[in-house]
Amino acid sequence: MSSQISSPEITHAPEHAPGTSRIWRTFWVLSLLTIIELGLGYFLYFQHGHLSYAFTLSTKLLIAALTLAKAYYIVSIFMHLGDEIRNMIMTIIVPLMLFIWFIAAFLLDGNSWKNLRNTDAGSRPNKTEQHH
Amino acid sequence: MSTTISTNTKWWNGGRSPFNISYGKVMMWYFLMSDAFTFGAFLISYGTIRFSVNHWADPNHVFNAFPLAGHANLPLVFVSLMTFILIFSSVTMVLAVHEGHKMNRKGVEKYMVLTILGGLAFLGCQAWEWTHMITGDHAVLVNGQIEYWGTTVTRNPWGVEVMHNGAMIATPGPIAFGGYFFGITGFHGFHVFSGVIINVTMLIKTRLGHFDQRGHYEMIEKAGLYWHFVDLVWVFVFLCFYLV
């Protein structure tokens, strides 16, 4: 079945599957990823205070990676970006690469502020590090 | 000189779409990309402030309530419900787009109604959560006196806990917590609200048969892109405010 074309300028229409199995499979993948995220969240909650800083941070990074996987499924399948031609995909994905710098630079800046606060120059408002 | 392509080809002026995709869809994508940077900047700003202080509110303590459950400690439960509502309304939206490709008006109407209901359910949940946050009473030690505070843009009762008269009690935390929470979830909620308005408009246009006359349901696809984006942003809000 060919899709209707909305304008004579457009000659390419992604093939749309006749069934909805791909949509439901994506729904289950998103649900499963969310449940794993929640499981890790509860793990951190119930083990609160028993985990090392590095282990807690790694678990949080794993949750963030699962969130990126969810984002991939939503954008690629629900928003059909994966079905568009490659150049279209690139005009969306390449500018978003700016986020790599954006996140790294600003979070490191925030962390640097925290370190400065806890020096004598920053008057050490909270010398005892809180564990959370 | 071409005679077959004549009147309807002004959009891109070259007679052909650069990415073989309609002008409206490309522009919706570029709008969503700019919106992604807006949300990204908000969330990164929140992360920067959170990284810069020694103590931040623990989401498992702040978001542990559920409607009609009294004071039961249920961390993550309510926000998980909100997440699943939004994922499910994304599924009904993509099913509406699917029915649109098949030119099945009844199917589009059915799934648009379900998507709108999902959006309204999410907004209802958010209204309850905000009300609970603002009106909740939490003991805070302020200048040696115990006061009872809700969470607002000027008050944060989730600071460091200290010993006072033999019991642990919270002190005021950074006021940035409320500002970022209400600012970012509010900006997202406003997107959900405008998405519901767009979806209602699309439902009315579907019922009036506008898309059947036009010969395609591409407007449903464009509304769908916006609606999925709202779900996409929520995935990150869920991560940054509730999970980590």
Pick the CATH number of B23-134+175-243 from 1.20.1250.20, 3.40.50.10320, 1.10.40.60, 1.20.120.80: 1.20.120.80
Q: How close B39 comes to chain A (CA, Å)?
A: 11
Instruction: Work out the angle at residue B213's Cα, subtended by the Cα atoms of residues B209 and B216, and round it to the nearest 5 degrees.
Output: 95
**Encoded tokens for A5:** 């074309």
Task: Report the predicted TM-score, pTM, of the whole model to 2 decimal places.
Answer: 0.88
* pLDDT at residue B1, as a whole number: 41
In angstroms, rounded to a whole number, what is the distance separating the alpha carbons of residues B93 and A74? 12
Rounded distance between C-alpha atoms, residue B101 and residue A22, angstroms? 15
Per-residue pLDDT, averaged over B46-54, amounts to 95
How many CB pairs below 8 Å do chains A and B form together? 176
> What's the confidence (pLDDT) of residue B6?
47
DSSP calls for chain B: --SSS-TT--SSSSSS-TTSS-HHHHHHHHHHHHHHHHHHHHHHHHHHHHHTSS----HHHHS---TT-TT---TTHHHHHHHHHHHHHHHHHHHHHHHHHTT-HHHHHHHHHHHHHHHHHHHHHHHHHHHHHHH--EEEEETTEEEEE---SS----S-EEEETTEEEE----THHHHHHHHHHHHHHHHHHHHHHHHHHHHHHHHTTHHHHHT--HHHHHHHHHHHHHHHHHHHHIIIIII-
Considering only alpha carbons, which residue of chain A is nearest residue B242? A41
Q: Are A80 and B227 in contact (CB under 8 A)?
A: no
**pLDDT score, position A36:** 96
Tell me, what's the pLDDT at A20? 86
CB A70 within 8 A of CB B231: no
Is pLDDT above 50 for A2? no
- Show residues of chain A in contact with B44, CB under 8 Å: 102-103, 106-107
Question: For position A15, what pLDDT does the model report?
Answer: 61
Q: How many CB atoms lie within 10 A of CB A17?
A: 12
Put simply, the chain B residues between 91 and 110 with a CB less than 8 A from any chain A CB are 91, 93-95, 98, 101-103
Domain boundaries, chain A: 1-85, 97-132
pLDDT per residue as tens digits for the range B107-143: 999 999 999 999 999 999 999 999 999 998 899 999 9
Flag if A102 and B40 touch (Cβ within 8 Å).
Answer: yes
- 3-class secondary structure, A79: coil
Structure-block tokens of residue B147: 């006061």
- Per-residue confidence (pLDDT) for residue B14, from 0 to 100: 62
- CA-to-CA distance for A104 and A93, rounded, in angstroms? 18
The predicted-structure confidence for B64-99, as pLDDT tens digits, reads as follows 888 887 788 888 899 999 999 999 999 999 999 999
Give the β-pairing of B138-142 and B145-149: antiparallel
The whole-number pLDDT of residue A131 equals 46
Interface with chain A: mutation pick from B48, B82, B84, B227, highest number of A CBs within 10 Å = B48
- Is the CB of residue B95 less than 8 Å from the CB of residue A20? yes
Residue of B nearest to A130 (CA): B55
- Of A35-49, A112-126, B132-146, B165-179, the least confident: A112-126
